[in-house]
A = this chain, B = another copy of it.
């Protein structure tokens, strides 16, 4: 089924683009609700799923927290999760070897990709 324009989806996407902290569905809902007071949480979830499935945004999930985060930046980069405040931040990592290829050497199937995330304490939480 083809994707039609909708004001709600546009508001969701433009909010997500404006943020670099990878908010969750309920945070997005709370903010978009200011512009569209009658928007429903289901609409937020449905649109996030559509946007993710069509490759416009990316789903992020981290082991500890069981809520999915969303990132409008689909360029290759990694993530850090603060184990104290839960904040999610971008993290650059240079000189990473070809992990998938290395993993494939000891593996019978096909490696298509991998996920890495780092955890620790962010600067703000260190200063207390």
Copies of this chain, how many?
Answer: 2
| CB of A45 closer than 8 Å to a CB of B | no
Let me know if B66 and A66 touch, CB within 8 A.
Answer: yes
Residues 77-117 of chain A, each 1 if its beta carbon lies under 8 Å from chain B, else 0: 01010110000000111111101101100111111111111
Let me know if B118 and A117 touch, CB within 8 A.
Answer: no
Please give the number of chain A residues whose Cβ is less than 8 angstroms from any Cβ of chain B in the complex: 42
Let me know if A107 and B91 touch, CB within 8 A.
Answer: yes
Q: Which of B78, B114, B125 contacts A117 (CB 8 A)?
A: B114
* 11 A-B contacts (beta carbon < 8 Å): A61-B66, A63-B115, A83-B112, A96-B102, A97-B97, A110-B120, A112-B120, A112-B121, A113-B120, A115-B116, A115-B117
